Amino acid sequence: MDIIKELREETGLSFAQIKKALDEAGGDKEKARVVLSQYSQAQAEKKADRELAAGLIDSYIHGNGTTGVLLHLACETDFVAKNDEFKTLAHEISMHICAMAPTSINNEDNEGEETALMKQAFIKDPNMTIEQKINAFIQKSGENTKIIAFTRYSI
């Protein structure tokens, strides 16, 4: 029960999803995290074709005022777009972009996956990529969520 509570606090997922992942992983917490990540990826793939009719623009200016980011993060409904967790996700991705200086979302510029935002290890949790972070949010919210565009300014 303690492992379920810990994973619930970390992921925000339902007890049923976590219990199912733990059962599948034979009670191993780390293996359950992998299983939950696989569930998130599957959920994201199912929802990928849904229309993105809402979202928000987030901005982040680094403390020294020489680097800033604008991010367009989209979702399906205003209900999710106005949710504090969605706003936090957008802001954390903006801070990541400021720190890690990606050049594209999915390597559209052919500069390599190390500069592709979705493939970068999330700065606050290097065990998770930005893509996995978004997929986890999709699983939790039940809505398709996607980075539409970002711009990073630096002096």
Q: What CATH number is given to the structural domain containing 130?
A: 3.30.479.20
Domain identity same for 127 and 70: yes
Indicate the angle between helix axes 29-47 and 15-24, nearest 10 degrees. Answer: 120
Alpha carbon distance 155, 27 (integer Å): 50
Q: Which domain holds residue 72?
A: 54-154
Query: Does 49 have pLDDT greater than 80?
Result: yes
Domain identity same for 59 and 40: no
Domain containing residue 17: CATH number: 1.10.8.10
- Residue 114 confidence class, pLDDT cut points 50, 70, 90: very high
| Tally of domains in the chain | 2
Q: Structure pTM?
A: 0.79
Domain identity same for 36 and 80: no
Mean residue pLDDT across the chain: 92
pLDDT tens string 10-36: 777 778 888 888 899 888 888 988 888
